[in-house]
Amino acid sequence: DSGVTQTPKHLITATGQRVTLRCSPRSGDLSVYWYQQSLDQGLQFLIQYYNGEERAKGNILERFSAQQFPDLHSELNLSSLELGDSALYFCASSAGLGRTEQYFGPGTRLTVT
């Protein structure tokens, strides 16, 4: 158990819909990262937040957005969903900006039908 929690575990929705994925980092960790894992693309970095502020962006689509709240939990919002958005979405946390070790949650499996 990494100490990172993600909800829901599974999510099935239709094209065009909007969903919100939730992540709670390990106790004391200030950085949260979101990743998308698909069979063809592998694990892709989407976005990083540190203590409530966006810190780095990766291959995140404009239809996707995220935020980190004062209690340090984070949400990833996916809108106008397409079939190709079906994937595993992972959240990871680390202690701070100077720490490279990331601890991953169990993931949310999103299926868009």
**Terminal Cα distance for the chain, rounded:** 31
Q: Which two tokens stand for residue 72?
A: 């340090």
Query: Residue 12 interacts with other proteins (CB under 8 A)?
Result: no
Residue choice 20, 45, 65, 79 for contact with other proteins (CB under 8 A) = 45
Query: Residue 101 interacts with other proteins (CB under 8 A)?
Result: yes
Q: Which residues of 34-69 are buried (b: 16+ CB within 10 A; e: fewer)?
A: bbbeeeeeeeeebbbbbeeeeeeeeebeeebebebe
Is the Cα dihedral 85, 10, 41, 69 positive or negative?
A: positive
Query: Residue 92 interacts with other proteins (CB under 8 A)?
Result: yes
Q: How far is CA 79 from the centre of its chain?
A: 14
Choice between 81 and 105, CB closer to other proteins: 105
Query: Residue 48 interacts with other proteins (CB under 8 A)?
Result: yes
Span of 14-22, 66-74, 77-85, 89-97 interacting with other proteins by CB under 8 A: 89-97
Residue choice 100, 110, 111, 112 for contact with other proteins (CB under 8 A) = 100
Strands 10-13 and 31-38: unpaired
Query: Residue 87 interacts with other proteins (CB under 8 A)?
Result: no
Positions touching other proteins (CB under 8 A) are: 2, 4, 33, 41-45, 48, 50, 55-56, 58, 90, 92, 97, 100-107
